Amino acid sequence: MSHDHNILTPSLESYFTIPSNWVWKRLKYLSEIKKGRIADIDENKSEISSLPYLSMEYLRGLSEPQYVRVDENSVLANDGDILLLWDGSNAGEFIKAKKGVVSSTLAKLYIHAINEKYLFFSLKASENFIKSQNTGMGIPHVNGDFLLSVPIPIPSLERQQTIADYLDNETFRIDALISAKEKLIKLFTVKRNSLIVNSVCRGLNTQVKLKNSGFDWLGNIPDHWSVERSKWLLTERNERTENDDGELLTVSHITGVTPRADKEVNMFKAETTEGYKICRKGDLVINTMWAWMGAMGISAVDGIVSPGYNVYIVGSRMFEEYINYLVKIKNFCTEIIRYSKGVWSSRLRLYPEGLFMIYFPVPPLYEQKEIVNYLNMETAKVNSLINATEKSIEILRERRSAIITAAVTGKIK
């Protein structure tokens, strides 16, 4: 093995220093790389001729496997093989394979002359460098030439095995902690959602007499509440801008109504906002295209929104923040879907006539404000726990990355 000092960029040389008895080798001398292929889904899921299609969603445990037929063009992987995400926003990420057929967005590494587990950890330490050289204006993808030139620190085979075993144990322990904290976040989220549903639909008095609301999505409500069509509670606002003045707002199912400037929006922005809809503080704004996913909420500021959105003035019998919690309820989205128009679920649109068919629970106004005050306080507590847990996960991930880098560059004795 040669040192290949000329392959080290200044940033790598300053970041990665290795023991004097180690050497550097370019990745192209240690591995061959083959991209996966597009494959047809096998609906019959034949165990003899089909294997799971290895998408990132499946490998991360976010989706069930889809099976594809194996042919002479299939790139096959076994459990533990090294895969690289070639295309997409996180292109350059390395991940361990499960047995299956490599998808078109991934590539498989065929390893030789190095311990495979050790190489995986070395590549994880170099991910940020590899990602920094991604190319492509639309969908980023790995720079293949740069990837093959990435230097890998090489100790003896015995040392490679020792480092791989050490990192297996350390990363397993850290990953177990991260998994436990992610489950905790899910529990916090369920608790927060339950608080909102129970308070908005049942009120705060657990001893109050209930009655059937007449609507499956709403269930039983306090006996002194009414249920009324939103037509009598909301009024459409259709005022338009005559110039480019006004803060542009956007609406999503995750963040509700927020200034576009506060978000990383990569979609096309119109040259002028003349003719956009005016939105006032306290208005209900609905993203017509994504209402079925819950993209709606009360605006906290004056602004302007896309002509494709719908804006509604909240009447005097409803407290705006109460409606803001109401529209976040999952079951409310079932009503949105019911009254939206479109053949496909992903093409549904909610127009004013559809919204005005939906019935809202109407507690006394003073009670709506009590509910909002309670939820503001209680959800803030839960959100604080979620934020703290997310920060602790980030610290663990940083520690995981630091341990890997230290081990594969000989910093851990």
Distances, alpha carbon 70 to alpha carbons 49, 52, 75, 383, 397, in Å: 6, 10, 9, 47, 36
Largest CA distance in the chain: 83
CATH topology of domain 226-362: Adenine-n6-DNA-methyltransferase TaqI; Chain A, domain 2 (3.90.220)
pLDDT the model gives residue 48: 59
Report the pLDDT value the prediction gives residue 221, as an integer from 0 to 100. Answer: 97
Residues in the chain: 413
Q: What is the mean pLDDT of residues 264-288?
A: 77
Q: Which residues pair with 359 in a beta bridge?
A: 229
Mean per-residue pLDDT, 148-163? 94
CATH of 5-154, one of 3.40.920.10, 3.40.50.1000, 3.90.220.20, 3.40.50.300: 3.90.220.20
Q: How far apart are the first and last CA of the chain?
A: 23
pLDDT at 412: 85
For residue 46, pLDDT over 70 is answered with no
Q: CB neighbours of 361 closer than 8 A, spacing ≥ 6? A: 200, 201, 213, 218, 221, 225, 226, 227, 326
Mean pLDDT of 124-145: 88
Report DSSP state, residue 28: G
Mean pLDDT within 81-106 = 94
The model's confidence at residue 338, banded by pLDDT at 50, 70 and 90, is: very high
Is residue 107 within 8 Å of 34, Cβ to Cβ?
yes
Among the ranges given (128-132, 228-232, 282-286), the one the predictor scored with the smallest mean pLDDT: 128-132
Contact 333, 292 (CB under 8 A): yes
Residue of 342 and 220 predicted with greater confidence = 220
CA 389 to CA 398: how far, in whole Å?
14
Q: CB within 8 A of 97, min separation 6: which ones?
A: 54, 59, 77, 78, 79, 80, 81, 82, 83, 108
Per residue in 348-364, pLDDT (tens digit) is 899 999 999 999 999 99
pLDDT tens across 2-28, in order? Answer: 445 444 444 555 557 889 999 999 999
**Residues paired with 110 in a beta bridge:** 32
pLDDT-above-70 percentage for the chain: 91
Average pLDDT, the chain: 89
Give residue for tokens 């967005």. Answer: 105
User: Mean of the pLDDT values across residues 73-92?
Assistant: 93
Q: What are the boundaries of each domain within the chain?
A: 5-154, 155-204+365-413, 226-362
Mean pLDDT of 83-88: 93
Distance CA 102, CA 147 (A): 19
pLDDT-derived band at 148, boundaries 50, 70, 90: very high
**What are the E-state strand segments in 92-138?**
94-96, 100-102, 106-111
Is the fold of 5-154 the same as that of 155-204+365-413?
no
| pLDDT given for residue 271 in this prediction | 63
pLDDT category of residue 156 using cuts at 50, 70 and 90: very high
Q: What is the pLDDT of residue 10?
A: 42
Q: Is the pLDDT of residue 268 over 70?
A: no
Q: What angle do CA 406, 407, 411 make, to 5 degrees?
A: 55
Residue 16, pLDDT score: 73
Mean pLDDT of 44-59: 80
In this structure, which topology does domain 155-204+365-413 adopt according to CATH? Helix Hairpins (1.10.287)
Which amino acid is residue 228, in one-letter code? E
| Structure token pair of residue 283 | 């208005």
Cβ-contact 263, 384 below 8 angstroms: no
Q: In sequence order, what are the beta bridge partners of 5? A: none
